[in-house]
Every structure is written in C-alpha cells, then in structure tokens.
Amino acid sequence: MLRILQPHFPKRLLCLPPLSNPQTICTNASSTTAVALPLPANSAAYVHLPFCRKRCHYCDFTIVALGSTTNSDSDPRISNYTKLLLREIHATEPNSDSDPLLKTIFFGGGTPSLVPPHLISDILDSLRSKFGISSDAEISIEMDPGTFDASKLDELLRLGINRVSLGVQAFQEELLRVCGRSHGLSEVEEAIGIMKSADGLANWSLDLISSLPNQSLEMWEESLTCAVAAQPNHISVYDLQVEQGTKFGYLYTPGEFPLPTVNQSADFYKKAAGNLPREGYEHYEISSYCKSGFECKHNQTYWQNRPFHAFGLGAASYINRTRFSRPKRMKEYTNYVENLENGSVADASSASVDLKDLAMDVVMLSLRTARGLDISSFVGKFGWDLTASLCKAFEPYVESGHVIGLDVKRKALPRSDFELGRDSDTQLAFIRLSDPHGFLLSNELIAIAFRSMSP
C-alpha cells in the first residue's frame, strides 16, 4: 500500500484555505489516508478557435474547416461561434478570491489568425471582466502564414496580444504541399517578414514538424537553418505523429516509406537538439527551444501541472484537479454552453482524485522538461515510498545515460549518488531525462515510471 504521510507530516488532514469544492484525494487502497493538497492558483486560460481553411493532412485536432472561398472577416460561423464562446466565459464560475488575475492567455486552434481582431477583442474583454488580466500577462495567439497581413497583426498587438506562434512547419514547398497546408513558401516568407518588422512584437515562436513524408535530413537541416535565420525567440519542433483517421494515417505507416525510418527521425530530433542550442536556443522541453527567458509561460502551466481555464469547442480545462474536455461537436458544445448557463452542468470537480493518478500527471509532465521532476516537492506531495520506487525503477537508466540525477545546484550527480536517502544527506534534488537520448525515449521511460508507481 502506498504510504502518503511520512513521519514529519502531522497525521491529520492538512487543512488549507477554503476551496470552492471540498475535495478528497485518496489512494486506491484506502480512503482513510485521504489528504488535501494545496491547490495551486489558477491564472491561465486557453481559448480554442477551431477555424481553418482546410484540414492539414496530419491533423486530428478539433477544427472547423471553412473552405478557401469565404471571407473569414464576415463569416457568420466565426461570429456565431465567438458569441457562444463569450456565453461560455460568462457562465463560468469566477475564480475564488484567492486566485490572482490571469497571467497567461493562449488563443490556440485551428487557425486563430482567421478570426477577425474585433472578435478577439470581445473575447479578451470578456475574460478581463470575468477573471481580470494581469498587466504583464503573456497573451499568445497561433497564426498561420497566408491568413494575416501587417495591419491585422498590428491590430492584434494593440489588443494586448504580445506573443505569436507562427505555424510554418516546413521551409520546402513540396513538404508544405504534402502536408496539405493552405499556404506555400512565399506566404511563409511574407509572414516571417511581418513578424520581424512588427513594432511591439518582442516575442514570437516558429513551429516546425520533423519526420514528414519524403523529408530528408538535408531538408530538415535547411528548415532548422531557415528557422534560426528568421530570428524568433522561440522554436517548437514537433515530431510527426501519424494519427488514426487523418489522411496521413490512411496513407502512411510510421517508419515506412515515404515516412523516414525510426532511425532517421531519431536523427532529425538529434539534429535539432544539436543545432538549435548552438544558435542560442535552449532545449527547455521535449519539443520546445527558446532564447533565454522566452519560455512559453502558458505551456509552463501545463508542464507544472497547474490549473487552467479552457473555453471553446473541444477545449480541455484543468480546474480543482479535474480535467474536463468540452464537446468536440458544435451542436453538443452549444448544448453544453446552454446547460452551463442554466446551471445544469454537473460539477465534476467534487469527485475524489486518485493520488497516484495525480502523481503520474506530475511525472509525465515534468519529465518533459529540462528542469525535470522536483524531488523534494514530489516526496512532500506523494510520499517517500512512491518516490523511492520511482528512483529504483530509473536506476538502470541512469546507468545507461537516459536519466540524470541533479543536485539542488542542478549539477549532474554521479550514478552512485542516484539514491533517495531519508536523511538530509540526500543530494538528489531533480530527476530529468537526458537530452537527446532520454527525451527521445521519453514514452518508454515515463511508462517505466508509471509501472513503478502502480505495480
């Protein structure tokens, strides 16, 4: 059985500032060992804007394809959706008094840049009146080449948006076509030009996808070089995931021609992990690189397993330790919003949360980051035994170089010091996956961690 309370914890429920929903966290084994962990403050909001010109061939996300003929500035589907979104925000429970103003807002999609700025403005107003927005908040928006011009970007920046994530994906015309992107290389170059020349845009990111069909190592190097030349503050590198139900899923099998072999795509990953840091981009998360200080704050919310609001079609929120995904179909989402307004949405957050499940979330998210898993915090939340069995499971992989133990000063520990002592001599302060070998095998390593936590 999992032991949650260690001797230095008082053997009683840890009572915390009032929660809007009293919540029990328990292990599978016994309800008598329930504890209440402090809930971190909720200061993030994700807003889903699902509209795209058309679906990219690799995409299985919740989107609404508009077609290439309509004028997105006056498309009633967008304005109707925005109205619904505003209703959802309005009907949502406000934060408790203890929660601060929103510190990050992320407009994701879809292609949010298809949404007219005045509608974005409405959404921001609504969020501001509901939760308040901190004056130094990071407000990000995803934009695709070919869907905006300099003046549109300008308008967005004037609304307070201060971070743009540009979906470039590749710097080769043929690869863009293979992906079914609705833009070509010239639009990419145009978009980069707009980013570079925009006044008041101090923070933007560029997205790339590796392991595309027919992509060669040369092409990938070229894309990396072009990305660096565009001088964004942040680069995201996603390894292509062939999802069922997508055109790629129908056409291709991972590791088989025309997709690169597993070894080739491992090489792509290593190429990025090798080249980008040389250009000053720090590899701070499995698929994220940034200039110093330009980590995506909103995504940090995810990696640190902190709560966040979410609004819109198919959007997933994490409030009071409960993950909730909104309906992915417009009709059902509309019903959901109606129910939310008349108060008939069941509050799922009062359900008890399994402590091990929570620990798994923390492990899978924190191991994605270069910072890694904070041992003393983990022991405090989930107990010594669980942490020790995790460390034990990782021992062989410390030896093989996939896992690294770090001390409080973030200095790598020799293998012999990779152990969780009960006394203060323990030097182990963080566990992280090595870059690139550990990151490359993160699924396997996280699965091993999961197994050690639920034997």
Partner 1 sequence: MTSTGFSTVAGGIGSCKNSSNLQRRPLISNRPFITQFGTSIRFPTSRDKVRLGVSCRSAGAQPNIVPANGGKERLSKVPISNIRNFCIIAHIDHGKSTLADKLLQLTGTVQTRDMKEQFLDNMDLERERGITIKLQAARMRYLLGNEPYCLNLIDTPGHVDFSYEVSRSLAACEGALLVVDASQGVEAQTLANVYLALENNLQIIPVLNKIDLPGAEPARIAQEIEEIIGLDCSEAIHCSAKDGIGITEILTAIVKKVPPPQENADKPLRALIFDSYYDSYRGVIVYFRIIDGTLKKGDKIYFMASEKEYFADEIGVLSPGQMPVGELFAGEVGYLSASIRSVADARVGDTITHFGKKAHSSLPGYEEATPMVFCGLFPIDADQFPELRDALQKLQLNDAALKFEPESSSAMGFGFRCGFLGLLHMEIVQERLEREYNLNLITTAPSVVYRVNRLNSDTIECSNPSFLPEPGMRKSIEEPYVKIDLLTPKDYIGPLMELGHERRGLFKEMNYITENRATITYELPLAEMVGDFFDQLKSRSKGYASMEYNFIGYRESDLVRLDIQINGEPVEPLATIVHRDKAYAVGRALTQKLKELIPRQMFKVPIQACIGAKVIASEALSAIRKDVLSKCYGGDITRKKKLLKKQAEGKKRMKAIGKVDVPQEAFMAVLRLEKEVI
Q: Check: CB of residue 144 under 8 Å from CB of residue 183.
A: yes
Is position 439 an interface residue for partner 1 (rule: CB under 8 A)? yes
The reply to whether 6 sits near partner 1 by the rule CB under 8 A is: no
Q: Considering only 213-221, 332-340, 394-402, 414-422, which stretch makes contact with partner 1 by CB under 8 A?
A: 394-402
Asked if 25 contacts 34 with a C-beta cutoff of 8 angstroms, the reply is yes
Whole-number CA gyration radius for the chain: 23
Min separation Cβ 359 and partner 1, Å: 12
Q: Which stretch binds partner 1 (CB under 8 A): 79-87, 88-96, 235-243, 406-414?
A: 235-243
| Binder among 53, 163, 181, 368 for partner 1 (CB under 8 A) | 368
- By CB under 8 A, is residue 41 in contact with partner 1? no
Among 92-100, 111-119, 258-266, 414-422, the segment contacting partner 1 (CB under 8 A): 258-266
Residue 405 touching partner 1 (CB under 8 A): no
* Interaction between residue 316 and partner 1 (CB under 8 A): yes
Which of 51, 81, 204, 269 touches partner 1 by CB under 8 A?
A: 269
Give the sheet arrangement for strand 403-406, strand by strand: 373-374, 430-433, 403-406
Name the residue with tokens 């008890």.
352
308 binds partner 1 (CB under 8 A): yes
- Stretch in the footprint of partner 1 (CB under 8 A) among 80-88, 295-303, 331-339, 384-392: 295-303
The yes or no reply on residue 40 touching partner 1 (CB under 8 A) is: no
Judged by CB under 8 A, the residue of 81, 248, 289, 318 near partner 1 is: 318
**What is d(CA 194, CA 121) in angstroms, rounded to the nearest whole number?**
21
Q: What is the size of the binding site for partner 1 (CB under 8 A)?
A: 49
For residue 224, state whether it binds partner 1 (rule: CB under 8 A).
no
What is the per-residue binding string for partner 1 in 116-155, x denoting contact by CB under 8 A? ----------------------------------------
Q: How far is the CB of 223 from partner 1 (least distance, A)?
A: 15
Q: Is 275 in the site for partner 1 (CB under 8 A)?
A: no
Which among 115, 8, 4 is positioned nearest to 63, based on CA atoms? 115
Q: Under the criterion CB under 8 A, does residue 42 sit at the interface with partner 1?
A: no
Only segment of 193-201, 221-229, 397-405, 417-425 that touches partner 1 (CB under 8 A): 397-405
Closest approach of Cβ 298 to partner 1, in Å? Answer: 8
The least CB distance from residue 311 to partner 1, in Å, is 11
Q: Which is nearer to partner 1, 263 or 342 (CB)?
A: 263
Regarding 114 and contact with partner 1 (CB under 8 A), the answer is: no
Give the shortest CB-288-to-partner 1 separation in angstroms.
9
Give yes or no for residue 281 binding partner 1 (CB under 8 A): no
> Does position 233 bind partner 1 by CB under 8 A?
no
Establish if 106 lies at the interface with partner 1 (CB under 8 A). Answer: yes
Quick check: 99 binds partner 1 (CB under 8 A)?
no
Q: Which of 63, 66, 133, 315 binds partner 1 (CB under 8 A)?
A: 315
Among 325, 335, 339, 377, binds partner 1 (CB under 8 A): 325
For the chain, the three-class secondary structure string (H helix, E strand, C coil) is: CCCCCCCCCCCCCCCCCCCCCCCCEECCCCCCCCECCCCCCCCEEEEEECEECCCCCCCCCCCEECCCCCCHHHCHHHHHHHHHHHHHHHHCCCCCCCCCCEEEEEEEECCHHHCCHHHHHHHHHHHHHHHCEEEEEEEEEEECCCCCCHHHHHHHHHCCCCEEEEEEECCCHHHHHHHCCCCCHHHHHHHHHHHHHCCCCCCEEEEEEECCCCCCHHHHHHHHHHHHHCCCCEEEEEECCCCCCCHHHHHCCCCCCCCCCHHHHHHHHHHHHHHHHHCCCEEEECCEEECCCCCCHHHHHHHCCCCEEEECCCCEEEECCEEEECCCCHHHHHHHHHHHHCCCCCCHHHCCEEHHHHHHHHHHHHCCECCCEEHHHHHHHHCHHHHHHHHHHHHHHHHCCCEEEECCCCCECCHHHCCCCCCCCCCCCEEEECCCHHHHCHHHHHHHHHHHHCC
Q: Are strands 430-433 and 403-406 parallel, antiparallel or unpaired?
A: antiparallel
Select from 84-92, 189-197, 334-342, 392-400 the region that touches partner 1 (CB under 8 A). Answer: 392-400
Span interacting with partner 1, options 257-265, 332-340, 347-355, 382-390, rule CB under 8 A: 257-265
Spell out a b/e string for 17-37, using b for 16 or more CB atoms within 10 Å of the CB, else e: eeebeebebbbeeeeebbbeb
What does the binding site for partner 1 look like in residue numbers (CB under 8 A)?
A: 46, 48, 61, 106, 108, 237-239, 241, 262-263, 265-266, 269, 286-287, 299, 301-302, 308, 310, 315-316, 318, 323, 325, 360-361, 364-365, 368, 396-397, 400, 402, 439-451, 454
